[in-house]
């Protein structure tokens, strides 16, 4: 296990390094200007607000380029620090290109965030939630595809104030149990309301708090990950992950908590001598999120620490039995939480909701039931196999980001293929230590990922798939972002691994590819 730092340029004296830095920065800015003017034709019939945002985006491109150049010329540059520096401008670009509502299901997330904030602020009347009039105006837009009018409305109100005139809505209160899913965004929205910020500004503040949560946990995960840092870095930088991280979607919370729990769980296993009490507390808090969001479908990740070796004064056999007992207890808790989610009236799945009559919302027909799936095991197995055959490639592509927005912003196929290549290459970034990272460990990681995949599919079979369908509907690739790392880290081995110089190059290619992806995204949305 090696390489926690990125040493990109060696054997260059200080004077030559400064000259090279300035030349590189000037060259990078010239290239960015070339791309800017090459793409300027898309702005011919656009309003000024969109033109201004387009210029801001290229200004942020310049910031990213300068950061990368300095990174290349500076030795011992840690991946987590590189991530922290480039994720901020990349996040700002994504939240400008894909404004509130254009992220999948964000109107629902916006409603829930505003509703939870209203409850905390005790803004209720006759069991109905109150919202500000400008928030209702924004919510009434319900745009799901990029269009000039909506973008112009958002950009012109991105810095606005509100008279805080609250009005009664037709919405009833949602359960405060959902606060775990939305707490960063709810905190941001509540702060915006207290400061009398306008609706668009308030929503962006909620998005910002989600982004900060994602950034902090992503940074800590990269810092603590004992090996496979480059692979995790690639996963965090995927276009779909970047789209979700600066939105009101609780995907930002789930993805961040998953990365964090994987990294800390692995550090408990492979770096037990460095574990402190604060690490356990932070891990427990992040684990609580995985246990309470989306029916605990991602809580299987919490099984990882069971691999840790620990001393038992009563002997190895008792230690082994103790670990087995702990493992069974954890799995039992996860199964019970998911089972409760599957059978509860009104929320039969952890990833979707259906009516009390167990009807599929989009078809109005009965969905699969847990009892029907359990009584016909061969049919259930074929249902899952058919789904993998029919939609497996689509799951992979959409997890990367082939269809952003409401699956209506189609990224070029070649960019998705490059990202897939980077993920695979990153899996071989370092030589494995089979005495530490054993085949049993690799198998467990793969089984954890497989368990998450199957539970997510089962949830959507119960919530979104009419009974009798040959494959499961409603599953999207973005649901699997949290476990991409576990699906690929088992590829690490002792025979095929990258040379240090290749690792350094890939480390820089990942953020460059993020910029290229954005460049291809701009004409699709502006």
Q: How many structural domains compose the chain?
A: 2
| Least confident stretch, 211-215, 362-366, 379-383, 481-485 | 362-366
- What confidence tens digit (pLDDT) does each residue in 56-110 have? 999 999 999 888 888 777 765 789 999 999 999 999 999 999 999 999 999 999 9
Same domain, 381 and 483: yes
Same domain, 134 and 179: yes
Res 133 pLDDT > 90: yes
Same domain, 197 and 233: no
Between helix 79-97 and helix 229-236 the angle, nearest 10°, is 10
Q: Across residues 217-238, what is the average pLDDT?
A: 96
**What is the DSSP-derived secondary structure letter of residue 273?**
G
Tell whether 307 is covered by a domain: yes
Q: What is the pLDDT at residue 69?
A: 84
Q: What is the pLDDT at residue 501?
A: 84
Separation between Cα atoms, residue 12 and residue 17, nearest integer Å: 6
Same domain, 184 and 230: no
Residue that terminates a domain, selected from 137, 170, 205:
205
Tell whether 349 is covered by a domain: yes
Separation between Cα atoms, residue 455 and residue 336, nearest integer Å: 12
Same domain, 133 and 278: no
Q: What is the pLDDT at residue 292?
A: 83
**Average pLDDT value over all residues in the chain:** 86
Same domain, 198 and 234: no
Nearest to 165 by CA among 203, 201, 136, 204: 136
**What residues have CB less than 8 Å from 436, skipping those under 6 apart?**
1, 270
Question: Which of the four pLDDT bands, split at 50, 70 and 90, describes residue 347?
Answer: very low
Q: What is the pLDDT at residue 293?
A: 84
- What confidence tens digit (pLDDT) does each residue in 503-512 have? 888 998 999 9
- The dihedral through the CA atoms of 260, 399, 292, 372 has a sign that is negative
- What confidence tens digit (pLDDT) does each residue in 166-221 have? 999 887 778 888 888 899 999 999 999 999 999 999 999 999 999 999 999 999 99
Are 398 and 407 within 8 A, CB to CB? Answer: yes
Tell whether 268 is covered by a domain: yes
Tell whether 468 is covered by a domain: yes
Same domain, 385 and 289: yes
Look at 255 and 354; give whichever has higher pLDDT: 255
Tell whether 66 is covered by a domain: no
Same domain, 479 and 398: yes
Tell whether 181 is covered by a domain: yes
Tell whether 68 is covered by a domain: no
Same domain, 170 and 298: no
Same domain, 352 and 459: yes
| Least confident stretch, 16-30, 63-77, 510-524 | 16-30
Same domain, 361 and 501: yes
Domain that holds residue 520: 226-525
Separation between Cα atoms, residue 8 and residue 75, nearest integer Å: 6
Q: What is the pLDDT at residue 498?
A: 86
Q: What is the pLDDT at residue 356?
A: 37
Q: Across residues 376-380, what is the average pLDDT?
A: 92
């Amino acid at each position: 296990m090696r390489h926690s730092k990125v040493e990109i340029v060696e054997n260059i004296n200080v004077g030559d390094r400064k000259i090279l830095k300035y030349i590189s920065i000037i060259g990078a800015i010239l290239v960015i200007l070339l791309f800017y003017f090459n793409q300027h034709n898309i702005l011919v019939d656009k309003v000024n607000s969109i033109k201004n945002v387009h210029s801001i985006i290229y200004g942020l491109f310049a910031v990213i380029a300068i950061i990368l150049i300095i990174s290349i010329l500076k030795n011992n540059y840690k991946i987590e620090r590189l991530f922290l520096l480039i994720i901020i401008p990349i996040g700002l670009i994504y939240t400008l290109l894909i404004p509130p509502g254009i992220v999948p299901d964000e109107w629902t997330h916006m409603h829930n965030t505003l509703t939870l904030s209203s409850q905390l602020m005790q803004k209720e009347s006759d069991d109905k939630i109150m919202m500000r009039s400008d928030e209702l105006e924004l919510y009434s837009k319900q745009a799901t595809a990029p269009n000039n009018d909506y973008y112009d409305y958002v950009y012109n109100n991105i810095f606005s104030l509100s008279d805080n005139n609250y009005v009664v809505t037709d919405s009833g209160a949602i359960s405060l149990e959902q606060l775990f899913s939305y707490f960063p965004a709810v905190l941001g929205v509540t702060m915006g309301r207290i400061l009398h910020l306008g609706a668009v500004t308030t929503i962006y503040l909620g998005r910002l708090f989600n982004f900060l949560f994602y950034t902090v946990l992503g940074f800590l995960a990269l810092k603590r990950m004992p090996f496979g840092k480059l692979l995790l870095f690639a996963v965090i930088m995927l276009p779909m992950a970047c789209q979700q991280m600066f939105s009101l979607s609780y995907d930002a919370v789930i993805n961040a908590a998953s990365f964090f729990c994987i990294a800390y769980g692995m550090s408990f296993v492979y770096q037990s001598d460095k574990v402190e009490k604060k690490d356990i507390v932070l891990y427990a808090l992040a684990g609580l999120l995985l246990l309470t969001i989306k029916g605990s479908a991602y809580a299987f990740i919490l099984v990882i620490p069971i691999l840790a070796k620990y001393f038992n004064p009563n002997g190895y056999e008792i230690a082994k039995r103790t670990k087995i007992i702990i493992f069974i207890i954890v799995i039992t808790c996860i199964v019970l939480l998911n089972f409760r989610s599957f059978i509860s009236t009104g929320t039969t799945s952890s990833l979707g909701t259906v009516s009390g009559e167990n009807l599929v919302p989009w078809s109005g027909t009965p969905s699969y039931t847990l009892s029907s799936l359990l009584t016909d095991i061969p049919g259930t197995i074929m249902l899952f196999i058919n789904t993998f055959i029919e939609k497996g490639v689509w799951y992979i592509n959409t997890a990367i980001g082939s269809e952003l927005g409401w699956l209506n912003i189609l990224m070029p196929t070649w960019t998705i293929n490059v990202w897939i290549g980077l993920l695979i290459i990153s899996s071989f970034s370092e030589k494995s230590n089979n005495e530490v990272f054993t085949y049993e460990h690799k198998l467990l990681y793969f089984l954890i990922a497989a368990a998450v995949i199957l539970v997510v599919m089962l949830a959507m079979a119960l919530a979104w798939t009419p009974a009798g369908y040959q494959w499961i509907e409603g599953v999207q690739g973005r649901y699997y972002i949290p476990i991409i790392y576990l699906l690929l880290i088992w590829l690490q081995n002792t025979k095929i691994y990258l040379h240090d110089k290749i690792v350094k190059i890939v480390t820089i290619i990942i953020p460059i590819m993020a910029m290229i992806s954005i460049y291809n995204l701009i004409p699709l949305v502006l």
